[in-house]
Structure 1
Amino acid sequence: MTNSQLSPGVVPGRLSSEDYAANFTDVAPPLDGHEARVAADRCYFCHDAPCITACPTSIDIPLFIRQISTGTPEAAAKTIFSQNVLGGICARVCPTENLCEGSCVRETAEGKPVEIGALQRYATDTLMAKNAHPFTRAAATGKRVAVVGAGPAGLSAAHRLAMKGHDVTIYDARAKAGGLNEYGIASYKAVDGFAQKEVDWLLQIGGITVKTGMALGVGITLKGLSADYDAVFLAIGLAGVNALGLPGDDKDQVIPATDFIADLRQARDLATLPVGRDVVVIGGGMTAVDAAVQSKLLGAENVSIVYRRAQAQMPASRVEQDHALANGVRIIANAAPVAVHGNGAVREVEFAYTRAGVKGLELTAETFRLKADQCFTAIGQALEGAPEGLTLAGRKIAVTGAGRTNLAGVWAGGDCAAGGDDLTVTAVAEGRDAAEDIHLALMGA
C-alpha cells in the first residue's frame, strides 16, 4: 500500500486460513451444463433483440444462447469472441443488470431476465478449458503496430490487429499484462488467476510481443514509437488518482482504493494483508464497493461507504450496492468529506451532509465524524503523463471516429480516451474498433 505505517487497528491475519478461503471464493459460481441449457431455454430469441443494442460490443446474444441450447457451447463461444475477445472476464465483471440483462424482454415482463452473463461465462469457459483458440492469423502484412497499455482496450486492439496479420508489440508499465482485469477488480470476481489465464489464451493468436515495465516516459516515448512503428494505439488507462484535497488527507492509512485492491489481487497469502478494524471508503462507484466488501471479507469489523449524493445516484449498480449491504457494509449517502483527523495516522474522517443547491451540490453546516483507522479513497482517476502534442477533451485524450487522435498515425481508446463509459466491455469495444480503423489505414483502404 502507498501508506505503509500501520496504526494499532490495522493488522494482518484477522481471520483463519479457512475463513479467507471461504470469503474469497467465486462470488457467482458457474453454471453446469444442465443449468446452462435450462437458462438458455428461457430466451425468446427476439428478432430485434434489445440485449444486442445494450451490449457495447454488440454480441449476437440470441445466437450464442441458441447455440448453447442446441448443445454447441464452443460455437457459442466463437460467436462471443468474434465481437469481444475478452468475453470471459466481461461475463464476470460486466454490470449486466444495466446492460444486456437490463434490456431483456423477460426483465421487462417478469422482472427476471435471461441469465445472459452466466451463459456467456459458461460458453467462454467451455472453450477456454480446451485451451483452444478459435481464430487464426491472416497472412503477414509486414506492418508493425505499437500498443501502449495491456489492459482491456490494449489487449482487444492487439488481438484484432494480430488476427489481421500485423505484428504487434504491447508495452505496459506493470509487471503483468491485464490492466484493471489483473489489478483493479475484486478478487472474488476473477478467482484462480483467471485474468492471467485469459491473457495467455488471447496471446495464442500469435504475432504479439508483450514488454512489461515500460511506459511512456519510462523506456519509450510517443515520438520514438511513431518513428519505429507504422501505427500507435494508446490504451494507457487512468493511472492517476484524484486527491481528496482536504486538511489531513496526507495522514498515514489514507490510501487510494485502487492501491489496496491491487495489493490484494497480487497477494500470495491474504493473511499477510493488513486491514483496519474501522474502515471508511469515500466514493460511490464499483471501486468503492470492491474496496469496502473486500475490507469486510479480510476481517474489518466496521466498514462504511460514504457517497456525496443520494444512494440512487451512486455509479455502482444496485446489484453491487446490495452485495455490499449483504456483506455488512454500511452505505451513507448525501455526505462529503471535509477533513481527516488523527495524530500521524488517520483516526477519524469528518463529513458534512450535502443538499442540492441553486449552483449544484452544496455542503450543509451539519457535520459528523466516523471512526477510522483506515480510509480508502475512490473518488475517480485521472489521466497521468499525457504525451505532449495530444489534444485533450477535458481530462482525457480527444478522439474522433474509431479512436483517431489529432496526431497522424496515433489512436487511443479505453478509459484514457474521451467519450466512452469507464467499463471493461466499453474498453474492449473501443480497442476492437480502433484496430479495425488502424488496419484500414495501414492497408490504404
Structure 2
Amino acid sequence: MTDYRTLRVALLGAGAVGSQVAGLLLRHGDELADRAGARLELAGIAVRDPDAERDVDLPQELFTTDAESLIVGSDIVIELIGGLEPAYRLVLEALGSGADVVTANKALLATYGAEIFDAADQVGASVYYEAAAAGAIPIIRPLRDSLAGDRVRRIMGIVNGTTNYILDRMDTEGAEFAAMLTEAKQLGYAESDPTADVEGFDAAQKAALLASLAFHTSVPLERVHREGITHIDPAMVDAARHAGYVIKLLAVCERLDASDSPTGEAISVRVYPALVPREHPLAAVHGANNAVFVEAEAAGDLMFYGAGAGGIQTASAVMGDVVSAARRHMAGGLGVGESTRANLPIVPIGRVTTKYQITLEIDDRTGVLATVAGILSEGRVSIATVDQTVIEDGGVARLVIGTHKAVEQDLSDTVRRLADSGVVERVVSVLRVEGD
C-alpha cells in the first residue's frame, strides 16, 4: 500500500447529501487516496443532533455539535448545512483557518459569493461548488475551466427538478398544477413548503451562479428577474402543445449588445416559465431531471443533462470537488480565484428582446380582432400567428397570438393597453418563447 500523506476533512451537516458523502469517504478511502494523491481522513461530522436517524449507518464517534473545533486543523471543510446561517459564518472561519471549502449551498453563494471568494483570495484558499448549480451535472467546471478561453453567448437551463417534474406531468398527462405538486411532495421531489421551487427562488440562485461564471461578472441575486409557475394551468399547457411548444421553467443567462455600456455589451439573467419548441433538446428533458444548454462562440452548442437532485447524485459532485481540493493541497501554491473582472452591466428585464405568446379572452364580435391588431402594431409588437376559438356562443372567444421578436417593455406596455381597451375581457397569459 502506498504511504500517502493524510489530509483532514471536516464535514458540516449530515442530511441526505452529507450522510452519503460521509459514507463514500469511509467506504472508498483507498481508492480516493489513489485518485487524490493523499489519504482523506474524515475528522468528524458536525450536526445539530448526533442521535438523529441518517440515510447511511455512520460511526457515532464521528459526530459532534462543536463545528468550530472541528474546523480547526482541517485541510478541507465540506459545508452541507444549507441556508445562510450558520453556514456563512462557518465557511468564513474555515477559510480563515487556511482550509479549502467544498459546498453545495447555492443560496449561500448567490447571497454572499463575493465576500466568500474575497476571503478565499486573501488567504490563498479555494472554494469548490460543483454541486451547487445542478446536482450531479458537471456544469461549474466546464464554465469555470473548459470554456474560460471561449466567449459564452447564452445559457438556457432547466435547473430545478421539482418544477420540471410538475410541468412535464401537466404536459404528458393533462394534469392540474395542484395535483402534480402534491405528487411531487409524495415522491420527495418537493419540500413540505415548496415556495423556493415553484416560485423560482431556487432556479434564480443557480442562474446567478451560472451567469457569474459564464460572463466573468459578479451577479447579485437581486438582479435576477424571477417568476414562478403557480399560475400555469392545463389550458396554457394545451395552447402551448397546439402551437408546437412545451412549457419549462428556464434560467436564461444572456450576453447582449448595449451601446450605453463601455464595452458595448451587457448581460441579462432571468428565470421564468417559457415556451420551448418541441424539437429543442430541452423539450425532451422529462421528470425531475435537469439540463443546461450552453451556446459558446467557438465551442458551439453544448448540453449537459442528468439528475439535478438526490442525495447520492449530489454527493458524487461533492466528492469530485473534494478530490480536486486534495490534489491542490498536494500540488501546493495558492488557490485559483474566481474570474469576475469583466464587470458587465446587468440590464433589467424590460430591455430583453424575445418572442411571445399572448392569450386573450375577447368579445366575439366584428371588428375586435382588428382593434387588437391595431393596438399591437401601435406598440411595436408584430403578429406572427393567430388562433381564435369561440368559448361561449355569441359571447367570448379565446385568442392566442404568437409574436415576432419584441422588446419586453414594449410588450408589457402593449398588454396593459389591451387590458384597458374595452374589447379584451381578460388577459389569460403572456409567455415568452425561448430557443426558437
Q: Report the TM-score range of the alignment, normalised by the length of the smaller protein.
A: under 0.3
- Structure of higher CA gyration radius: 2
* Structure with higher RCO (Cα < 8 A, 6+ apart): 1
Higher share in strand: 2
Structure-2-length-normalised TM-score? 0.20
Structure-1-length-normalised TM-score? 0.20
